[in-house]
Every structure is written in structure tokens, then in C-alpha cells.
Structure 1
Amino acid sequence: MARYIFITGGVVSSLGKGLMAASLAALLQARGYKVRIRKFDPYLNVDPGTMSPYQHGEVYVTDDGAETDLDLGHYERFTGVSARQSDNITSGRVYRDIIARERRGDYLGATVQVIPHVTDAIKEFALADQGDHDFILCEIGGTVGDIEGLPFMEAIRQLRNELEPFQTLSVHVTLVPYIKAAGELKTKPTQHSVRELASLGIKPDLLLCRAEHPIPDSERQKIANFCNVRKEAVIPALDAPSIYAVPLQYHRQGLDAEVLRAFGIADAPDPDLSRWDDVVDRYANPEGEVTIGVVGKYVGLQDAYKSLNEALIHGGLAHRVKVNLRWLDAELFEQDDADIAAELEPMHGILVPGGFGERGSEGKIAAVRFARERKVPFLGICLGMQMACIEGARTAGVLEASSTEFGETSEPVVGIITEWMSEEGLQKREADGDLGGTMRLGAYEAALSGNSHVSRIYGGAERISERHRHRYEVNSKYIAPLEEGGLVFSGMSPDGLLPEIVERPDHPWFVGVQFHPELKSKPFDPHPLFAGFVGAALDLARLV
């Protein structure tokens, strides 16, 4: 029987509910329990696939092709449990499915209402696909009091009544702000937030209190008295030196022990936190450092590249070095007075990430050219690989090389993909069809060339599986001229039609991939491409 932990947030947004859920799951996992985490998003988009990164941050992609909230990346990185389509739901998806049922006549003439139809659909989602998990953690997006979140809160209230005693737990994440002028921590916002939650019929069992300063026992007792919980259930959540120190910090504050006590579990094994101790030690005690320049389009919001940021840190952990990231706006490289060399010469590695649209594309191509000519380690991801191919084509004499994503071109080195093979068979899309959910999404295999650089990076593997999210592909008609210009296509789709990986044998480390390797990297299991890239950057740093 799976036990459910419902995680809500109050006072303000961005308190770190996703990180808290991931950390708690990691602690329960360290005790030998099987865990799964789910995210309930109240917004009306069906998924975040069509949302601007500036609105929502990164879109995380699962093996089975779901475009999800970036918190699922935290879940995977902390637990190693692959997320699925069934682990993220939005109000938009709920309403879309209910309206489709109503149009088919599935409700037999009944008036369709928020209660019971919407709340029942949310409960079905929460209870589905339980498997043999011991704990299922359900994070509710947004903040208590948000209008769009009310159906989710009502569904939680109903579930807590319907499930068995000691089968559910409510954890509420709040803020205890520090008023500098008064020199005091203030508990009133937490009290009001808990009162708001209680007005919806949900009594929190644990309070996780975010604070910039230590919370004295007297203040914890005050919160406990006003919020109707034990003092031990008021868990301080102070800022940590890195997100990977959070599980250890929560364990020291007794979070996992209090959760087990609330469930009536008295015989839980002690947690094995050795791998987290190792990660924190590697992060806190580096034996060197490298600087990586990320030339992108959304560098003003680092959440747009959340998994990329973490994967580069993981690459540093593999070599016990600190990775300093320089976020460089590709558009600045397109200005007439741009001094690209001055910006990129201090870099030990250059990375061009994924993205959409023409803006900044010529700046990215200029960064690729610099990395190729100066022999600086280069990694191109998705659009970054496509820019490497366009740069390579222009160098090989195809001067008008471009992508149809940027408009009409006489040399479409990159073009829209309308057909491809998946495990479900032939997939087809229309060039002018809907944007949402129509890309090549999820895990696809690639066949690697023997004795290639990338094959060695993957430990001699002949086939790999990586996650994709893109609408355009490198045109295989240009493979021959590109290889004549020095690029080698060392990874292809199993049917040999779609280029997956390019590299330059005449370069110390130059790799472009059509997929997103950052989505599968973990702190205790760094992705080999990022470990290799940071290792090459370290070699360059030692030469300088």
C-alpha cells in the first residue's frame, strides 16, 4: 500500500517545494524505500511545451515524451527514478480530458462541474500507476490561496478522508522572513498561511519553514502553538551552500524521521547517505576549476537552462573541479563592434545549448567558429549541433547554408522534420500544424560509429538512448559535403536517416548532439558527455 505525502506552499512562490520534495524522497530512498514524485500544476496550459522559458523556465522531457515542469528534473536528479507522463498533470490537461469526455457523452447527460468531475479526475491521477512504491510524493504547484489551485486542494482534502488512516501526510512549506530593521524573524506569515490552508479543510502535519536566519526553539514553539503541530514538526529550512547539501541538511533537522513518525513507522532502517556525503565533499572541496562559456538566447534567466547548469556541475564533480559558468548572450556577438575573442578567450570550454528561433543564431555560429579555429573544447546541444553543422557547411564552401527555421534558404542544411520512426511506428507532423506536443520528443536510440571519439566517451557502446525535444533536423543530403569539410557523423538514428552526433577528429574535443544529454545527468552519476567535456576543459586550463 503506497503512502501519500502532499506538499503545498504558502506565503510566496519560489520557496523550493520541488527541491524539498526531491530531498525528502532521496532521504526516504536512502532508508531503502521505493519512492515516486508527482507534480500538480494549476495553470491552464496543457503542458509547458509552448510556454516561453522566461515565463516558466526549462521544459523537462521524460523518456516517454512528456513535456513537463522543471521540478521533475530535480526529482530525477535526486532519486535516479525516471519520471513518466503520469507524473505531471496540469489544469489544462484535466479540463481538456473532461471536455472531451463530455463531448463524447460519457457523462450521460450529467451537468459537468468542478466537484465532483474535476476533483475526481485529479484524484484518479494521484492514485494511478502506484506500482510497488512505498511513498508517492505529490507536489502542488503555486501558493495556497491561488484561485486556480482550489480544485487541487479540494482533491487533496477528499483523498485524506478517503484513504486509510496513516496513509496520507500533509507537508506545508512556508516562509519565516527576517525583518532587518527590527532584527527579528516574523512567524505571522506562516500562521496566516496555515490558517488559509485549514480554511480549505487541510490540516498540515509538518511545516517546513524557509528562513535566511536560524529559527530559535522559542520561535519554533510559537509556530507550533499557533499552527496546531508538534514543535518537532516545525522543520527549519535554511539556505544551503548548494542544492545537493539540502538532503543532508534536512536529515540533520529531522525531516525524514518526523515523516516516518507521522506515518507510525517505528522500525525504519537508518539511512545510507554516503553518496550524498561524497557529492557534497566533491562540491565543497574542489581540486581545481574551469570556466565554461554558455552562448545562448535565454541567458537572462538561468532557470531556462536548469538541467544544463546542473549537468555541468556534475561534470565538475566527476573530476573534483569547480565549474564557473559564464552566461553569454548570443545576440551580443552579432553586433558590428562585438569583440568575440575578448569574450571567449578566457573560456576553457564553449557550449551552445538548445533553443528555438533565429534570434542569436549568427552569434552562436560565431561562437562555434571560434571554438573550431582556436581548438577550444566545444559541446553543441540540439540547436547547438545544428549551428555547428551550418558553420561547418559555410567553411566547406556552402556559403548560403542555413536552417528553414529561420526562413526560406537555398541551402537548407537544417530543415523541419515531418516524418520519423519511433517505437510506436511512423510519426507524421504537418509543417504548419500545432506547436504543442508535435516535436520529436522523448527517448530515441542512436547507433554510434566504431572507434569514434563519442563511442569512447560512452565507454565503447554501440547504441545509446537519449532524450530529444526538437522540430528541425540536420538534412542528411548534406552529410557528404560536411564530412569533406572535416565534420564526421559519428551517431545516426538506427535506420540511418537522422543525424544524431557530429564530431571533428582534427580537434581536441568538438562534439555536437541532436539530443539533450543534460536531462539524464545526476550528481552521483554524471553524464559521460559532460564529464568528458569538463575533462577536456580541465586539460586546456592546465595548459594555459
Structure 2
Amino acid sequence: MGKQTRYIFVTGGVLSSLGKGITSSSIATLLKHSGFEVSILKIDPYINLDPGTMSPLEHGEVFVTQDGAETDLDIGHYERFLNKSLEKKNNFTTGQVYLSVIEKERRGEYLGKTIQIVPHIVDEIKQRIKSVGEGSDFLVIELGGTVGDMEGMPYLEAMREMKHELGNDYVLSIHVTLVPYIKTAEELKTKPTQHSVQELRRIGINPQIIVARSEKPLSKDLKRKIALSCDVADNSVIVAQDAQSIYQVPLNFLQEDILTPIARHFSLPEFKPDMQEWNLLVKKIISPKTSVTIGFVGKYLSLKESYKSLTEALIHAGANLDAKVNIKWIDSEMLDQNSLSILKDLDGILIPGGFGERGIEGKIRAIQYARENHIPFLGICLGMQLSIIEFARNVLGIADATSSEFDPQTNSPLIYMIEDFIDQSGCQQIRTHTSPLGGTMRLGEYPCILKANSKLQKAYHGANSAKERHRHRYEANPKYREMLESAGMIISGESEGLIEAVELRDHPWFVAVQFHPEFTSRLQNPNPIILEFVHQSLKQRC
């Protein structure tokens, strides 16, 4: 018989965006640094099968796991905090749960019974939770949404039933709630927390720990008031005050002594996490020795969450180089010939991934500016494709060079769609310009062969290959390879015959990659290509 997993459920009350993801990540990090085997799970209550087809403006970034799942951006936080790769099973949605139950019903697995939320939907949820927890000492489960939402009720019932089945020694409930500061009264108010906990207790769940989100510190009296009204121990009210960096939150929790009530609840000895390296990196984030300014040319700038992994990856690189990375946000739609002055005084230029034709010409102008002015440049996914198009137009003289994504009838498809391809699982896929967006992308981790002595290989410390994650439909057209290379654009990375990376021969540091290096970057293990880009930008500053 394997080890018995202990389950920590993290719920949220009052309103969304309180930081349940960072709370869950921070608790998991402290447990991991205490020597435990820890896994983590995000449950999303929406009906979509995954966020793959959602607008970044509505849902934020789509994070991609190594096994090719398109998941909630909180999975990215989990990986960055835990410094480990997670899988498709670490994030599931209501849509997936209902689809699975309906498919089982169609196959006759329920022996003709009437299918109901209790027990069938709830049993499916419990089975998925237990499956993720197998082999771990602890599984931290973040329940998306807010307590009281109609969509979340089956998950709270699953949580209640697991506590009933496994007992208090194996299930812990942590509730994240808001303690707002009312300026006119100059008071912190505990009533929203009391009401939120009452809602939980009404359905049979008594949280053991309250994480109180607040912009100001809570007095002992206020903490005691919350403990009394919410029926938790005095030292089980943990203040989560606004922090200078999200990576400071585990250290703040440690200072608030969150591990003591966790250990006590599970009848375990005192936890002693080793946070020395983490603490050092956080100090470099908060008080760096130097700084660098990166021009971030994108089109989803109204919601910075659209680029969450990339902005975090820049923070990781900065922390490991003891430098603050200042991001200068540049809307590519506003970048016409007359406004290129905004690109002056930048230490580096970054073009991130994206879909669609909007803002493309502005990005191409930024790439041309970086190429001609010898500014360190990193292009990611669409950024690589546009780097090839810019080079073809302005160096090779192919005036109508473009991508078949923007013009399916183009005579010069420098970027095109491979209609017949093999996906990560080895299955053959056929895609066309009208194929569903969610079903025909190259997703997940693939190996990239690195060209000897290239800038790319040097960034990866001389390795012959690297594994990175993808999320795209279009590829660089090999028909133009010879023309590109003869004019000074080096193909420095390849994967299964596909062009994975390009760089310029006569440029201090101009590298563009088809994959998304930001998905594998962590605070304690920054992605090599992003680290090198920031390093080269720092050299430019000097």
C-alpha cells in the first residue's frame, strides 16, 4: 500500500482575484522546502474544456504543460514556485468533468442509473482529485471561483465528502478572504470574512485556517476577532498583506507562522523549510544592484495577464543577474513610421507570441529597428515568424513576403501551414485554415537540435539539444531556407525537420525562437535563452 496523501483545499470568498493561486503556490513551496513530496491541482468551475479558445483579454494567458495541455495561468504559478513540471491532470474544468460522466453514461458504465450531480458528478471530481494526489505527501487543491457561486457547489460537496471519508487527519480547509480597508472610516472591516465563512459552514465545511488578504497589517485584536467569529485557533488567522513581489509571499507566510497550524492539524512534527536560496533571490528582486529596460512590443497590453509567464520569466532572469528588468510596454498598433522614437534608449527589444493580423506591421517595424540598430533582440513564436518576414522584405527584397495566416492566397508564404503533421502523442493531424483553433496546434514539449557554435547553443551552455514547449499552428517555410542563410540569417534550431530558431550572423545578439521559453522558466531555474537575452541587454546598457 502506498503512502496516504494529505489534502489541503484552498477556497476563496468575497470576490475573485484575491490571490488563491499565489496562496496555494506559497503553501506548496513551503511544504516542498520542508522535505515533502508535494503536488498541486487547480480546479476551474467554467464549462469550457480548457482555456485554449478563450480570449487572452477575458481570461489572461493560456499556459501550456509539457504534455501539451492548455491550462489556466495558475498552473504557470505552480510550476514557477515549485520548480517542477506539471501535467494535464493538474488542471481540470467543469466541462471536462461533465463530458467524462456523459461519455461513461453513453457507454453504459452506470448500469442504466439516473445520472445526478450527487453522487455521479461529485464522485468523478473526487476520483480526479485522488488520482492527482497519488504518490505525494501533500496535494494542494485550489478551487477556482468564489464560495457561494453556483458553479462551485459540486466541488465544495466533493471537499466535504472527502473530509467525511478520510477524516480530519487527512483533509485541511484553508479559506482566503478579504479584509477591506475603508478609507473614510479609517478601519479594517472583518464582516465580509465572517459572512464568507458562514457561507462555507452552511454547507458543512469549517475552515481551519483563514488567510486574510489586506492592504494593511492586522492588529492582534482584529486577528482574535476573526478567529473567534470564524471558530479557528488564534494562530490560524494568517495575514496576507500586499507584497512587493509575489515571490515574497512564502517568506511572509513563514513569518506569519502558517506551518504551525498545518502541522498541528495533521498531527505532524514541526516543519523546518530551508528557504535560504529563495530568500536571497527575493532580496535581489526587491533591491537589485542594477537595472535594464526592455521594450515589450505586444497587442494585448490592456491586460498584462496575457503575458504573465513572459513577464515572470524576465523577473527570474533579473533576479539571477541581480538586475531589475524595467518593461516598457509598447502597443504595436500604435507603432508607425513616425513613432519609432519610442524605441530609442531601450537596452533590448522583445516580440512575444500572439495570433491574428492585428498589430503585425508595428511589430515588423520594431524588428527592423532592432536589426538595423544592433539592439539585443528576442522574438518568441510569432516574433520569430515576423523576424523572418521582416528579413525577407527588407534584406532579400521580397516585398510581398508574409504569412499564410494573414493572407492564405499569398505568393510569398515565408510562414505557412503544414497540413499533415504528427502531434506530441504521435498521432497524425490534418489541419487547414478553417480547422478549429483548439484542435490543430502544435502543443507541448518537443526537442530542439541546437546548431554548433550558435548564439542559441551558447545560451544553453553548449548543449546539443533543448526541450521547450510550443503553442502554434504555422511554421517557417523551408523553401526559403537557402535564400535566408545566404543573406546572413542562420537557422540555429531545428525539430523534426521544422525550423525552430533563427539568428543573425552580423548582429551582436538577435535570436528568435518558434517555441515559448517562458513556460519553462522558474525563479530558481530561469530559462537559458531569456536569461541570456537579459544578460546581453545589460551588456548593451554598459
**Cα deviation, residue 285, structure 1:** 2.3
> Aligned partners of 1:406 and 1:392: how far apart in 2?
17
Task: Quote the residue 1:503 is aligned against.
Answer: 503
Once the two structures are superposed, residues 180-239 of structure 1 have per-residue CA deviations (whole angstroms, 9 ceiling, x without a partner) of 110110000000000011112111010000001110111111111111111111111101
Once the two structures are superposed, residues 436-468 of structure 1 have per-residue CA deviations (whole angstroms, 9 ceiling, x without a partner) of 243110000011111111111101111110000
Task: Quote the residue 2:156 is aligned against.
Answer: 153
Q: Which moved more, 1:409-418 or 1:199-208?
A: 409-418
Q: Is the contact between residue 67 and residue 437 of structure 1 (CA under 8 Å) also seen in structure 2?
A: no
2:489 pairs with one of 482, 487, 490: 487
**Cα deviation, residue 407, structure 1:** 2.2
Q: Which moved more, 1:156-165 or 1:377-386?
A: 156-165
Q: Which moved more, 1:406-415 or 1:20-29?
A: 406-415
**Cα deviation, residue 423, structure 1:** 5.3
**Cα deviation, residue 271, structure 1:** 1.2
Q: Does 1:94 align with 2:93?
A: no
> Aligned partners of 2:99 and 2:473: how far apart in 1?
24
SS in 2 for 1:446: strand
Q: Is the contact between residue 90 and residue 132 of structure 2 (CA under 8 Å) also seen in structure 1?
A: no
What is the one-letter code of the residue matched to 2:420? Answer: E
Q: Does 1:51 align with 2:50?
A: no
SS in 2 for 1:189: helix
Q: Is the contact between residue 5 and residue 135 of structure 2 (CA under 8 Å) also seen in structure 1?
A: yes
Q: How many residues align?
A: 536
Q: Does 1:272 align with 2:274?
A: yes
Q: Does 1:291 align with 2:290?
A: no
Task: Quote the residue 2:442 is aligned against.
Answer: 440
Q: Is the contact between residue 314 and residue 530 of structure 1 (CA under 8 Å) also seen in structure 2?
A: no
1:471 pairs with one of 462, 470, 473: 473
SS in 2 for 1:406: coil
**Cα deviation, residue 422, structure 1:** 4.7
Task: Quote the residue 2:382 is aligned against.
Answer: 383
Distance 1:46 1:423, change over 3 A: closer
Once the two structures are superposed, residues 513-536 of structure 1 have per-residue CA deviations (whole angstroms, 9 ceiling, x without a partner) of 000000111111111111111111
Task: Quote the residue 1:256 is aligned against.
Answer: 259
What is the one-letter code of the residue matched to 1:347? Answer: L
Q: Does 1:366 align with 2:365?
A: yes
Task: Quote the residue 1:457 is aligned against.
Answer: 459
Task: Quote the residue 1:332 is aligned against.
Answer: 334
Q: TM-score, normalised by structure 2?
A: 0.97
What is the one-letter code of the residue matched to 2:422? Answer: M
Aligned CA RMSD, in angstroms, stands at 1.2
Gaps of 5+ in 2: none
Task: Quote the residue 1:42 is aligned against.
Answer: 45
Once the two structures are superposed, residues 28-57 of structure 1 have per-residue CA deviations (whole angstroms, 9 ceiling, x without a partner) of 111101100100000011000000011110
What is the one-letter code of the residue matched to 2:370? Answer: A
Q: Does 1:208 align with 2:211?
A: yes
SS in 1 for 2:15: coil
Task: Quote the residue 1:407 is aligned against.
Answer: 407
> Aligned partners of 2:108 and 2:323: how far apart in 1?
61
Once the two structures are superposed, residues 364-419 of structure 1 have per-residue CA deviations (whole angstroms, 9 ceiling, x without a partner) of 11110000000000000000000001111112122111111112211111112333
SS in 1 for 2:95: helix
What is the one-letter code of the residue matched to 1:277? Answer: N
What is the one-letter code of the residue matched to 1:194? Answer: V
Percent identity for Structure 1 against Structure 2: 50
Q: Is the contact between residue 424 and residue 442 of structure 2 (CA under 8 Å) also seen in structure 1?
A: no
What is the one-letter code of the residue matched to 2:47? Answer: L
Q: Is the contact between residue 489 and residue 503 of structure 1 (CA under 8 Å) also seen in structure 2?
A: yes
Once the two structures are superposed, residues 468-525 of structure 1 have per-residue CA deviations (whole angstroms, 9 ceiling, x without a partner) of 00111111111111112321101101x3x21001011211110000000001111111
Once the two structures are superposed, residues 309-336 of structure 1 have per-residue CA deviations (whole angstroms, 9 ceiling, x without a partner) of 01011111121111100111111114xx
Give the ranges of 4+ consecutive aligned residues of structure 1 lying more than 6 Å apart after TM superposition: none
Q: Which moved more, 1:122-131 or 1:226-235?
A: 122-131
Q: Is the contact between residue 29 and residue 82 of structure 2 (CA under 8 Å) also seen in structure 1?
A: yes
Q: Which moved more, 1:253-262 or 1:83-92?
A: 253-262
Q: Is the contact between residue 404 and residue 415 of structure 1 (CA under 8 Å) also seen in structure 2?
A: yes
Task: Quote the residue 1:111 is aligned against.
Answer: 114
Q: Is the contact between residue 393 and residue 485 of structure 1 (CA under 8 Å) also seen in structure 2?
A: no
Gaps of 5+ in 1: none
> Aligned partners of 2:160 and 2:254: how far apart in 1?
28
> Aligned partners of 2:254 and 2:24: how far apart in 1?
13
SS in 2 for 1:44: coil
**Cα deviation, residue 267, structure 1:** 4.7
Task: Quote the residue 2:77 is aligned against.
Answer: 74
Q: TM-score, normalised by structure 1?
A: 0.97
Q: Does 1:185 align with 2:184?
A: no
> Aligned partners of 2:109 and 2:416: how far apart in 1?
42
SS in 1 for 2:148: coil
